[in-house]
Amino acid sequence: MASAKEIIAYRVAQDLKDGDVINLGIGLPTMVANYIPEGVEVTIQSENGILGMDRVANEGEELKDVINSGGQPVLITPGACFFDSSMSFGIIRGGHVDVTVLGALQVDEKGNLASHVVPGKMVPGMGGAMDLVVGAKEVIIATTHTQKGVAKILKEITLPATAVKCVDKIVTELCVIQVTDAGLELTEIAPGVTVEEVQAQTEATLIVSGDLKTMAVPAE
Amino acid sequence: MKNKIVSVQEAVSHINDGCSIMIGGFLGCGTSELMMDAIVEKGVKDLTIIGNDTAYVGVGAGKLICAKQVKHVIATHIGTNKETGNQMTSGETEVTLVPQGSLAEKIRAAGMGLGAVITPTGVGTDVAIGKETMTIDGREYLVEPPVRADVAILKGSIVDKAGNVYYEGTSKNFQEVMAMAADTVIVEAEKLVEVGELDPNYVMTPAILVDYIIVGGDK
């Protein structure tokens, strides 16, 4: 059976459209690239200065001075290009990235996101996250539904915000949630999971869509 | 033509106690290790370093952190160098974290002669604390002041003897904006070529911005 992370990455990938420019955060979001549907061609941006990023390079096939934003040597696709940080974040902030996929520590019913800092415990810095969630046309949060049983989808975030009112969609191993002006709308639910079970693991009150669908999951 | 090619020793004579230094590179990709080593050897203190990150322990800007030469770090991310985090927690080193796109633009603004950057990034977050905001067409923006430095330390993949620079792949990162925003600009040439050998179409940093060239790389 697929792991929670595989289920999430697979589902996020189904939303991508042919021609999309996407930016994938480090960790789980990176796995989205493994599930891009057939016939859909996307251009992956890496904020350190690549459009047309391919997979991580194996030993011996590294390109000179070509890394991803996590510092790993990567390959590039035909037609790729490199640019400096100012251009890279112009592309991001200027709305030229269609979809950004990031993880979250907490997300709330207004679409506020906390993803970069736990004061006193984990203070690595925001890197490019604040610009990405402000600038991308669509912000998809890819996260496990809870953190060791503790809810991450809240009425109001308690950790410092990465950005306010920025999240469009939340994809977890249990469901898909759309952020709307009225609150969090449960639009899809994983096979074998009940609405009550999802709500029990969510602090925010979910609005169940009148058109609740079954979430697409990877084939066995 | 003025000779810009100097020894590492001469280049490092421009780095003194209390200097602010922009360090090109992203997790060490595009960082002049020659200059980092020379600064460590010189032992100058109370530096302010400005750059994307502090790389790793023993790599790039991380070398200056580990040698405890840094008073203030202005960066977007320090998570890859645990020593920076330790010094921040103990209070030895001040760390100012800046969103990556905002840092690039703040440096660019300084180099381009602009008074500030007006950006939506950071609105409603801790980054906005103490900063002026503006509302333009109904959207809120932060007013981010420019960032300058005494010295910029860059690394070019190909540099001609006049100081024109080409950066390979993702080694461009912050280097082009940094080249404009410091009083003194030092470039390590991974490969040094004669004037005329670097195609003008591939020049990313014009020679007039470069003060000193040190020869590194494939020696």
N-terminal to C-terminal alpha carbon distance within chain B = 24
Chain B residues near residue A166 by CB distance under 8 angstroms:
none
Banded model confidence at residue B1, pLDDT cuts 50, 70, 90: confident
Does residue B99 belong to the interface with chain A, where contact is any CB pair within 8 Å? yes
Nearest CA-CA distance, residue B26 and chain A, Å: 7
Beta strands in chain B (DSSP E): 20-23, 47-50, 70-75, 94-97, 117-119, 133-136, 139-144, 149-160, 165-166, 182-193, 212-215
Question: What pLDDT score was predicted for residue A220?
Answer: 76
pLDDT at A1: 81
Test B125 with A50 for CB contact under 8 angstroms: no
Which residue of A lies nearest to B53 if distances are taken between CA atoms? A127
In this complex, do A82 and B204 lie within 8 Å of one another by their Cβ atoms?
no
Summarised one tens digit per residue, pLDDT across range B112-162 is 999 999 999 999 999 999 999 999 999 999 999 999 999 999 999 999 999
pLDDT of the residue at A43 = 98
Residue B218 scores a pLDDT above 70: no
Residue A86: list chain B partners with CB under 8 A.
104-105, 108, 176-177
Which residues between 179 and 208 in chain B have a beta carbon less than 8 angstroms from any beta carbon of chain A? 204
Cα torsion angle, B24, B64, B73, B149, sign: negative
Amino acid at A67: I
Q: Which domains does chain B have, with CATH numbers?
A: 8-110+149-215 (3.40.1080.10)
Over the stretch B74-118, which tens digit does the pLDDT of each residue have?
Answer: 999 999 999 999 999 999 999 999 999 999 999 999 999 999 999
Domains identified in chain A and CATH numbers: 4-214 (3.40.1080.10)
Coil, strand, or helix at residue A10? Answer: helix
Inter-chain residue contact A164 with B123, CB threshold 8 Å: yes
B39 touches B69 (CB < 8 A):
yes
CB contact under 8 A, B77 and A125: yes
pLDDT tens readout for residues A75-130: 999 999 999 999 999 999 999 999 999 999 999 999 999 999 999 888 999 999 99
Spans in chain A with pLDDT lower than 50: none
Strands in A61-205 per DSSP E: 74-82, 99-102, 106-108, 113-114, 138-142, 146-147, 150-151, 153-154, 169-171, 175-180, 183-189
Chain A residues with CB-CB distance to B104 below 8 A: 84-86, 88-89
Asked if B152 contacts B177 with a C-beta cutoff of 8 angstroms, the reply is no
Q: Are strands B149-160 and B165-166 parallel, antiparallel or unpaired?
A: antiparallel
Neighbours of B199 (CB within 10 A): 10
Task: Judge whether residue B41 has pLDDT over 60.
Answer: yes
Displacement of CA A101 from its chain's centroid (Å): 2
Q: Does A103 touch chain B (CB under 8 A)?
A: no
Cβ <8 Å between B173 and A93: no
Inform me whether the C-beta atom of residue B57 falls under 8 Å from chain A C-beta atoms.
no
Q: How far apart are CA B154 and CA B189, in angstroms?
A: 9
Q: Which residues of B79-112 are buried (b: 16+ CB within 10 A; e: fewer)?
A: bbbebbbebbeeeebebebbbbbbbbbbbbbbbe
pLDDT of amino acid B217: 61
Residues A23, A26, A28, A31, Cα dihedral to 10°: 60
**Angle, in degrees to the nearest 10, between helices B100-112 and A85-93:** 120
Q: Contacts of residue A50 in chain B, CB cutoff 8 Å?
A: 170
Cβ separation of B99 and A126 shorter than 8 Å? yes
The residue to which tokens 């070019």 are assigned: B156
Please state, rounded to an integer, the average pLDDT across all residues of chain B.
97
User: Could you write out the DSSP letters of every residue in A139-151?
Assistant: EEEE--SEETTEE
For residue B121, the chain A residues in CB contact (below 8 A) are: 93, 130-131, 134-135, 163
Which residues of B fall within a CB distance of 8 Å from A82? 169-170, 172
CB pairs < 8 Å spanning A and B:
143
* Contact check, Cβ <8 Å, B100/A85: yes
* Nearest partner of B62 among B90, B91, B93, judged by Cα: B93
Separation between Cα atoms, residue A142 and residue A104, nearest integer Å: 7
| % of chain B residues with pLDDT over 90 | 98
Q: Which of residues 137-166 of B touch A (CB under 8 A)?
A: 157
Q: Nearest CB to B120: which of A46, A66, A134?
A: A134
Q: pLDDT-based confidence at B219, cuts 50/70/90?
A: very low
Burial classification of residue A119, based on how many CB atoms lie within 10 Å of its CB (0-12 exposed, 13-18 middle, 19 or more buried): exposed
Q: Which of B118, B170, B180 to mutate to test the interface with A (most CBs of A within 10 A)?
A: B170
